């Protein structure tokens, strides 16, 4: 064991056996700092002059960790801070489905939103993503991160896995990023190491089987289930895939790898799996396997009518200029709130709203107050927003930080009314320009609360 690492003894015993002569390199890797990586939003950010993550078109390594809190473009959804190994999801998706087709996708254990935002960047605009999180507080964080990403073809739900059994054969793809013992996070999260035990790993394995079994009926015949964990434990990985293929009529799919990726391909009996070790790849521990369902499955049919209330015709006409492609959006009203929903998915979203606990759908566009349309923050961040229709104010760095802190701000502009506050081309939210002053409309729950320190500027 490398000096200075306090791995649990039972973990050391198992991993020595699993890794054999590679154990010293594995242990030594845990003395090195975790790599810092981001994934850009292709609708809001351009390719960067940084070291690329080899298995992702959108991923980059940073030379050092900046203060993301004090980077305005981070708050505007220009990129997502994500661990590099988990971006291998991109290969699983690209190599197993036709991304030019409209697909209905479930990210079952989605919070805080890394893989959901990644999926949205990969799927066609005609596709629909259901991002689910069973724990309500985490579902709120998930909803916030999807708002920042700005795609309108997503629904956030707050349900247990078994609830999806009501949606038989509904999904083309299901991603199960299963709760696990977290061994792959030992380097970056010491709490994961302190909480680890053989008993917990065994419980995780059984829980993972239960989750997959509960959600399986909602996957279409010939649909794809992507199973992944951030652990090395074979009971939580290979053994669970073997269990699935034994219990269900399914096939484990092989993925193509490049030699310089350093990803370990697992081939045992009739299963394929892909494991990331920190001494072989520039990332943390990760496991992924792709399964195609072959058994017959009854498929629930979406409603044949729109179940949502529609705003009046005058409001719809006023909103038309707000959108880059207004014909692709249908409008629903919930009390005073107007929501934009992908027109081609309106019946599917109607079904989801009836069957599940939906906490966010489409894009919140505006609130109606005394015949006045007050734009919603989510719409400022939306890629659907026709930015040419609104005044915009280009903020300096200090002004952008003040805006994100919800401080008083008086930008020099002759414009009046609701205006987009922008920094380096990224929209951060709305301000209401009143001539000699401005109302800062940044959401209070999202505001930066830390004391600013120029030395931490990212």
* Three-state DSSP string of 32-43: CCCCEEEEECCC
Question: Can 109 be counted among the known catalytic residues?
Answer: no
- What are the pLDDT digits (tens) for 433-443? 998 889 999 99
Active-site residue, selected from the candidate residues 109, 230, 385, 422 = 230
- How many C-beta atoms lie closer than 10 Å to residue 23's C-beta? 17
Rounded to whole angstroms, how far apart are CA atoms 223 and 250?
10
What secondary structure letter does DSSP report for 385?
B
Which helix (H) or strand (E) is 339 found in, with range? strand 337-342
Q: For the segment 112-133, what is each residue's pLDDT rounded down to a tens digit?
A: 999 999 999 999 999 999 999 9
The fold of the 33-293 domain, in CATH, is Rossmann fold (3.40.50)
Model confidence band, residue 451 (pLDDT cutoffs 50, 70, 90): low
End-to-end CA distance of the chain: 36
| Segment 57-65 mean pLDDT | 97
- CA angle, 216 as apex, 214 and 219 as ends, to 5°? 140
Q: At what angle do helices 114-122 and 136-149 cross, to 10 degrees?
A: 40
- Please check the confidence at residue 456 and state whether its pLDDT lies above 70: no
Write down the pLDDT at residue 4: 62
pLDDT digits (tens, 9 = 90+) for 249-277: 999 999 999 999 999 999 999 999 999 99
Mean pLDDT of 156-178: 98
Q: Give the per-residue pLDDT at 457.
A: 29
> What are the strands of the beta sheet with 337-342, ordered from one edge?
329-334, 337-342, 363-369, 372-375
Q: Which is nearest to 286 in space by CA: 145, 178, 214, 193? A: 178
| Residues ≥6 apart with Cβ < 8 Å to 188 | 34, 83, 284
pLDDT over 50 at 455, yes or no? no
- Residue 116's pLDDT is 98
- SS3 (DSSP) at 388: helix
Domain boundaries, the chain: 33-293, 302-389, 390-458
**Environment class of residue 349 by beta-carbon count within 10 Å: exposed (0-12), middle (13-18) or buried (19+)?**
buried
Fold for 390-458, please state it.
Nuclear Transport Factor 2; Chain: A, (3.10.450)
302-389 is classed CATH 1.10.3190.10: no
pLDDT at 411: 86
The residue to which tokens 């990332």 are assigned = 283
The residue whose two tokens read 């109302």 is 439
Rounded to an integer, what distance in angstroms lies between the CA atom of residue 344 and that of residue 306? 11
- What's the sign of the alpha-carbon dihedral 346, 348, 349, 355? positive
Nearest to 282 by CA among 12, 87, 70: 87
323 or 303: which leads in pLDDT: 323
Fold agreement (33-293, 390-458):
no
Which pair of structure tokens corresponds to residue 310? 């529609």
- Give me the pLDDT at residue 399, please: 96
């Amino acid at each position: 064991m490398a000096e200075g690492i306090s791995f649990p003894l039972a973990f050391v015993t198992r991993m020595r056996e699993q890794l054999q002569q590679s154990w010293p390199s594995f242990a030594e890797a845990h003395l090195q700092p975790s790599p810092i990586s981001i994934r850009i939003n292709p609708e809001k950010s351009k390719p960067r002059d940084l070291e690329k993550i080899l298995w992702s078109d959108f991923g980059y390594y940073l030379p050092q960790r900046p203060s993301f809190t004090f980077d305005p473009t981070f708050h505007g959804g220009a990129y997502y801070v994500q661990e590099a190994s988990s971006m291998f999801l991109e290969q699983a998706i690209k190599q197993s489905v036709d991304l030019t087709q409209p697909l209905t996708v479930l990210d079952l254990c989605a919070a805080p939103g890394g893989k959901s935002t990644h999926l949205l960047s990969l799927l066609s605009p005609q596709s629909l993503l259901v991002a689910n999180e069973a724990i309500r507080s985490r579902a709120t964080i998930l909803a916030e991160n999807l708002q920042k990403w700005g795609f309108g073809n997503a629904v956030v739900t707050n349900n247990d896995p078994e609830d999806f059994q009501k949606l038989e054969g509904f999904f083309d793809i299901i991603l199960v990023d299963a709760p696990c013992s977290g061994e792959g996070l030992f380097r970056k999260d010491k709490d994961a190491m302190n909480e680890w035990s053989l008993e917990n790993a065994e419980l995780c394995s059984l829980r993972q089987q239960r989750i997959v079994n509960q959600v399986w009926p909602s996957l279409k015949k010939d649909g794809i289930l992507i199973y992944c964990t951030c652990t090395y434990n074979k009971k939580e990985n290979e053994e669970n895939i073997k269990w699935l293929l034994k219990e269900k009529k399914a096939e484990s799919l092989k993925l193509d790898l490049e030699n310089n990726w350093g990803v370990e391909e697992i081939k045992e009996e009739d299963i394929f799996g892909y494991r990331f070790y920190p001494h072989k790849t520039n990332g943390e521990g990760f496991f992924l396997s792709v399964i195609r369902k072959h058994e017959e499955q009854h498929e629930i049919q979406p409603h044949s009518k729109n179940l949502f209330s529609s705003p009046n015709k005058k409001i719809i006409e006023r909103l038309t200029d707000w959108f880059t492609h207004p014909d692709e959006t249908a409008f629903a009203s919930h009390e005073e709130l107007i929501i934009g929903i992908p027109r081609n998915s309106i019946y599917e979203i109607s079904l989801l709203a009836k069957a599940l606990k939906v906490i966010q759908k489409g894009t919140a566009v505006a609130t109606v107050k005394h015949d006045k349309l007050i734009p919603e923050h989510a719409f400022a961040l939306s890629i659907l927003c026709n930015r040419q229709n609104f005044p915009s104010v280009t903020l300096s760095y200090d002004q952008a930080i003040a805006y994100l802190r919800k401080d008083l701000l008086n930008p020099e502009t002759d414009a009046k009314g609701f205006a987009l506050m922008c920094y380096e081309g990224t929209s951060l939210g709305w301000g209401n320009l009143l001539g000699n002053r401005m109302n800062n409309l940044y959401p209070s729950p999202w505001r930066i609360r830390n004391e600013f320190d120029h030395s931490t500027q990212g």
